[in-house]
Amino acid sequence: MHPTDRPRRLRTDGVRPLVSETSLSASDLVAPVFVDATTDERVPIETMPGHERVPVSEAVARVEEVRETGVEAVIVFGIPESKDSEGTRAYAEDGVVQRAIRRISAETDAYVIGDVCLCEYTDHGHCGVIEESAETDPTLTVKNDETLELLAETAVSQADAGADMVAPSAMTDGQVRAIRDALDDAGHEAVALMSYAVKYESAFYGPFRDAADGAPAFGDRRHYQMDPANRREALREARIDAEEGADVLMVKPGLPYLDVVGDLRREFDHPIAAYNVSGEYAMLHAAAEKGWLDLEATAHESLLSLKRAGADLIITYFAEDLAERL
Ligand code: PBG
């Protein structure tokens, strides 16, 4: 008896590269950059080894470091000098992200993406304007339609500063259309829009919320971010955003949601993005620190798996390390 099928024939070193279905390159990756208005020095982010919050004066240098590794795209997050109930520093012309983007786009060739959300800028830490009674009644958190205008203003202010792409992450219904219309009205029809179309209410964002100081002061985000139990709903979210004019559809987090990345890949012709989030980064680092996992190998396998599932581009804190090794 001989086996009729012998897939092992295609696993020799000579042929493996020829039949490899997926590859990773620096041009697939987007590196997150944190710009902090409360410091004039670089501050390491404890929960994300290798990452720092940098002052606006260091933003260009930070982006040049990213570009030296071969990664050309950055997504900029801001830590403002002050917070208030309406997140006004998110859409201020002299806000931390606006100042940073102005310099980065003037002084580097990086492709600059602005994260559009209010949670780092509101004193209550929610992603929009909240109801008066939200603190006592947690089912009433973000006022959807009142928030749309502020998100649109944020996006336009980032585009005015020179952003090439804006990425709304607030999970406000109608945000893609509100932002697209506002960008077009302001003459920014060339600015692209990547929607965090399918963003789950995930515990994997923990380290980011420390890094960007954006944890909700009370309650959680389950009344606007998606329920991790839901898969069909992801297609509905993505379809709405596609119809509203999103250029790129994102799934976030990445690794726990590969089924959803695969679903979107099959259903849409749009480029699909995956966000390999802070918790996915932190857990590999923590295990590697204990000697339990090989950091480089598991990071590479994680990102390769996101591509295999169907992602065209990946936002990841591993971008620089990986690009350097490719
Ligand atoms: C802003 C935003 C968050 C992340 C990206 N944009 C935080 C959140 O929704 O709580 C998380 C990114 C990460 O964990 O790496 N809304």
Give all domains of the chain, ordered by start, each with its CATH number.
Answer: 22-323 (3.20.20.70)
CA–centroid distance, 209 to ligand 1, in Å, is 7
Q: Which residues are the active-site residues?
A: 199, 252
Enter the pTM of the model: 0.95
- Which atom from ligand 1 is nearest to the alpha carbon of 170? 16
Q: Which residue has the higher pLDDT, 20 or 133?
A: 20
CA distance 304 to 322: 11
Pocket perturbation via mutation, ligand 1, pick of 169, 195, 255, 280 by most ligand atoms within 8 A of CB: 169
CA–centroid distance, 201 to ligand 1, in Å, is 10
Peptide bond into 138 cis (omega under 30): no
Q: Is the pLDDT of residue 125 over 90?
A: no
- pLDDT given for residue 141 in this prediction: 78
- pLDDT given for residue 186 in this prediction: 98
CA distance 163 to 156: 9
Give the pLDDT mean for 19-42. 97
CA–centroid distance, 105 to ligand 1, in Å, is 23
Pocket perturbation via mutation, ligand 1, pick of 117, 222, 283 by most ligand atoms within 8 A of CB: 117
- pLDDT given for residue 131 in this prediction: 80
Taking phi first (over 0 means left), then psi (-120 to 50 degrees means alpha), and beta for anything else, what does residue 174 get?
left
Average pLDDT, the chain: 95
- pLDDT given for residue 134 in this prediction: 63
- Which atom from ligand 1 is nearest to the alpha carbon of 169? 16
Give the 3-state secondary structure of residue 29: strand
CA–centroid distance, 15 to ligand 1, in Å, is 41
Token pair listed for 239: 């379809």
- pLDDT given for residue 245 in this prediction: 98
- pLDDT given for residue 212 in this prediction: 82
Long-range contacts, stretch 180-187, CB < 8 angstroms, 24+ apart: 180/244, 180/245, 181/152, 182/152, 182/153, 182/155, 182/156, 183/155, 183/156, 183/159, 186/156, 186/159, 186/160
- pLDDT given for residue 211 in this prediction: 82
* Axis crossing angle, helix 258-267 with helix 295-309, rounded to the nearest 10: 30
Closest residue (by CA) to atom 5 of ligand 1? 169
- pLDDT given for residue 140 in this prediction: 59
DSSP-assigned beta bridge partners for residue 79: 36
- pLDDT given for residue 118 in this prediction: 94
Pocket perturbation via mutation, ligand 1, pick of 147, 151, 205 by most ligand atoms within 8 A of CB: 205
- Which atom from ligand 1 is nearest to the alpha carbon of 120? 1
CA distance 301 to 291: 17
- Which atom from ligand 1 is nearest to the alpha carbon of 275? 15
- pLDDT given for residue 139 in this prediction: 63
124 secondary structure, DSSP code: T
Q: Ligand 1 site: residues with CB under 6 angstroms? A: 115, 117, 119, 127, 169, 205, 208-209, 214, 277-278
pLDDT digits (tens, 9 = 90+) for 79-104: 999 999 999 999 999 999 999 999 99
Q: Is the pLDDT of residue 31 over 90?
A: yes
DSSP H helices, 16-143, are 16-19, 59-68, 96-107
pLDDT digits (tens, 9 = 90+) for 184-218: 999 999 999 999 999 999 999 999 988 887 778 88
CA–centroid distance, 16 to ligand 1, in Å, is 37
CA–centroid distance, 310 to ligand 1, in Å, is 21
- Which atom from ligand 1 is nearest to the alpha carbon of 225? 9
Strands (E), 28-123: 29-36, 43-44, 52-54, 73-79, 111-116
Which amino acid makes up residue 117? C
Compute φ and ψ for 309, nearest 5 degrees.
Answer: -70, -20
pLDDT digits (tens, 9 = 90+) for 134-181: 666 666 578 999 999 999 999 999 999 999 999 999 999 999 999 999
- pLDDT given for residue 213 in this prediction: 78
Closest residue (by CA) to atom 6 of ligand 1? 169
